[in-house]
Amino acid sequence: MTLFDKIWDSHIVTTVQDGPTQLYIDRLYCHEVTSPQAFAGLRTRGIQCFRPEKIICMPDHNTPTHDQDKPIEDPVSKAQVDTLAKNAADFGLTHFGMLHPKNGIIHVVGPEQGLTLPGMTIVCGDSHTSTHGAMGAIAFGIGTSEVEMVLASQCILQSKPKTMRITVNGKLGKGVTAKDMALYIIAKMTTGGATGYFVEYAGEAVQNLTMEGRLTLCNLSIEMGARGGMVAPDEVTFEYIKGREYAPKGEEWDKALAYWKTLKSDDDAVFDKEITFDAADIAPMITYGTNPGMGMGITENIPTMDSVPEAGRISYAKSLEYMGFEAGEPVLGKKIDYVFIGSCTNGRIEDFREFASIVKGRKKAENVIAWIVPGSWIVDQQIKDEGLDKIFEEAGFELRQPGCSACLAMNDDKIPAGKYAVSTSNRNFEGRQGPGARTLLASPLVAAAAAVTGVITDPRELM
């Protein structure tokens, strides 16, 4: 059996003949954007949450990253954040509101609190729920009607996806991070290459990633169409979980650990699809278009029109026109306006250490506005404990408060129309960071190099 099969099969409640599986859900994460109608549905039907202790509520998309002690100015954001607080109180649910020490981005907080554990089934009304699969869990995003289903029954109706294993052999080179690995895989697979599959990542390069790196890798699984991504739990996972607030303790820990050690694909497990990559082929990556699959090594040139399949040339030309780029040209040396480090993709302590390693002893470029946004208050504290905030300050950067920030245009941190932003987030769709914003996805190292030079720069030159 594959790891996916083992977890899935152990959570089946019933199976509808020629239909979906009723799957038990261990953890529902609830944020402010996709939950209001779900709670309204419960009220209409006059029912409570079936297992409230399995549900964690937290605002993140709409939270401002400054002056969080003041009322939210945007009326829509304020209404959504306030509504989540009221719904959590009305239904007796755990709620980590703004300024709560456990608040942050839900996909950062879950693992760091030990709420996300190996062998779990986890859902949230957010596509990047795939992040939690890095802990050896089945985690995927769901729609609002499905959020209501889980609130009411702690179960969901779901068709079983096919399985895919992506193996990355060898060691990553200098300046190459988990983000680069993910962008490379998406560029090779395309944004639809894993549609209908649940992906398990394997191989030496994956096993050598830290927990933070694995979380980044699994976070981006959805961007190649996958239902989710996962990494088999190992000593890296167990060491990361041990001692965290909601992690098992004492005898419960020993019992859990014994079970977690069984969570790996059997040697003779058969996947529906197998893909293999070589880590030596991966360079620091950057995107040049308007979907995460339009990525390349930072020293490469944008693909020429004749290298693009004929059916995709019109949309390819439209994408380059939006970005203000031309086919065949390099992006190295292009001037940028904004840098954003944060999001559920790269908002963990390791990401800020990488960013600091480049900016230390240097100054922020005058033409760049930079937003440095920790993924949680715990990460914020780690940044301060390690003195990274001083490095940022001396280089001319300002540390903001936790939240989703400039990943998506649902709060105050929007990139103005026509401006270029090197972003460590997960999506570069038209208008994703603000109407008319031009987004180049990259790793914290590439973002840092751009922040101090003011142009797209290969970070290896500054290392």
The secondary structure of 335-392 as a DSSP string is: B-SEEEE-HHHH-SHHHHHHHHHHHTT----TT-EEEE--SBHHHHHHHHHTTHHHHH
- Supply the Cα-derived Rg of the chain in whole angstroms: 21
Give the residues across from 384 on adjacent strands: none
Distance separating alpha carbons of residues 348 and 216, to the nearest angstrom: 9
Question: Of 22, 26, 427, which Cα lies nearest the Cα of 222?
Answer: 427
Q: Which two tokens stand for residue 94?
A: 């755990």
Question: Of 273, 287, 437, which Cα lies nearest the Cα of 369?
Answer: 437
Structure confidence at residue 257 (pLDDT): 98
Domain ranges in the chain? 3-158, 162-234+264-281, 285-462
User: Which class in CATH covers the domain with range 162-234+264-281?
Assistant: alpha beta
Distance separating alpha carbons of residues 55 and 88, to the nearest angstrom: 9
Kindly indicate the confidence band of residue 141, based on its pLDDT and cuts at 50, 70 and 90.
very high
Please check whether the two domains, 3-158 and 285-462, share a CATH topology: yes
Q: Which pLDDT tens digit goes with each residue over 388-417?
A: 999 999 999 999 999 999 999 999 999 999
In this structure, whether the domain defined by 285-462 belongs to CATH 3.30.499.10 is answered with: yes
Question: Of 39, 27, 129, which Cα lies nearest the Cα of 84?
Answer: 39
Structure confidence at residue 220 (pLDDT): 98
Distance separating alpha carbons of residues 208 and 361, to the nearest angstrom: 29
Give the residues across from 390 on adjacent strands: none
Question: Within 13 Å of residue 234, how many CA atoms lie on the same side as its CB?
Answer: 17
What is the fold, at CATH topology level, of the domain defined by 3-158?
Answer: Aconitase; domain 3 (3.30.499)
Q: Which residues contact 390 (CB under 8 A, 6 or more apart)?
A: none
Q: Which pLDDT tens digit goes with each residue over 193-212?
A: 999 999 999 999 999 999 99
21-24 and 155-158 beta bridge pairing: antiparallel
**In 161-183, which positions are buried (b, 16+ CB within 10 angstroms) versus exposed (e)?**
bebbbbbbeeebeebbbbbbbbb
Q: Which pLDDT tens digit goes with each residue over 2-31?
A: 999 999 999 999 998 889 999 999 999 999
Collapsing DSSP to helix, strand or coil, 185 comes out as helix
Q: Angle between the 349-359 and 377-385 helix axes, to the nearest 10 degrees?
A: 40
Structure confidence at residue 44 (pLDDT): 98
- Residue 203 carries which DSSP code? S
- Residue 85 carries which DSSP code? H
pTM of the model as a whole = 0.98
Q: Which pLDDT tens digit goes with each residue over 147-197?
A: 999 999 999 999 999 999 999 999 999 999 999 999 999 999 999 999 999
